[in-house]
Amino acid sequence: MRAGIEQMTIIREWRTALANAIQNGFPITDDWLSAYRSQATTALRLSFVAISTDSDRNAYRLLNSEFDNMKLLSNKYVAMRQSMQFIAPDSLANDPLNQKVLECAHSMAAMAANGQFVEDGSCQ
């Protein structure tokens, strides 16, 4: 559970950094976001090593899915910046992928608080 919480904390930091850059019109580059992705990759590996039960295995699947969705979200905005597309400061509010990342994070937080794995489909 601790490894999963660490993983979700790093993904939240990654998403927050991306959101702040978008909201404030800062340049979004792969070099800048790669540090967040690297930390999340390391935490995901540590989560995998910590698997000892079926619930752990199921939770890892969700953590991996959340990581993949955050990577897609991050890559999307890097690509938009590289192609010189305008990125509205409120673009994340209307982005379905961002909503998916947030819903999964809330679901995982509830699981951590309850100490039980419950798949509600929000991380798919």
- Reported for 47-55, long-range contacts at CB under 8 A and 24+ positions apart, including other chains, are 47/3, 47/4, 47/6, 47/7, 49/3, 50/2, 50/3, 55/116, 55/117
Residue 69: what pLDDT? 96
Residue 33 has a pLDDT of 94
Residue 119 pLDDT more than 80? no
Q: What is the pTM of this model?
A: 0.90
Can you give the residue ranges of every domain in the chain?
2-114
Task: Report how far residue 117's alpha carbon sits from residue 110's, in angstroms, rounded to the nearest whole number.
Answer: 9
Of 76, 65, 75, the closest CA to residue 100 belongs to 65
**pLDDT band (50, 70, 90) for residue 10:** very high
Name the one residue in this structure whose structure tokens are 């990342």. 101
d(CA 94, CA 97): 9
How far, in whole angstroms, is CA 28 from its chain's centroid?
A: 16
The shares of helix, strand and coil residues in the chain, as percent rounded to the nearest 5, are 75, 0, 25
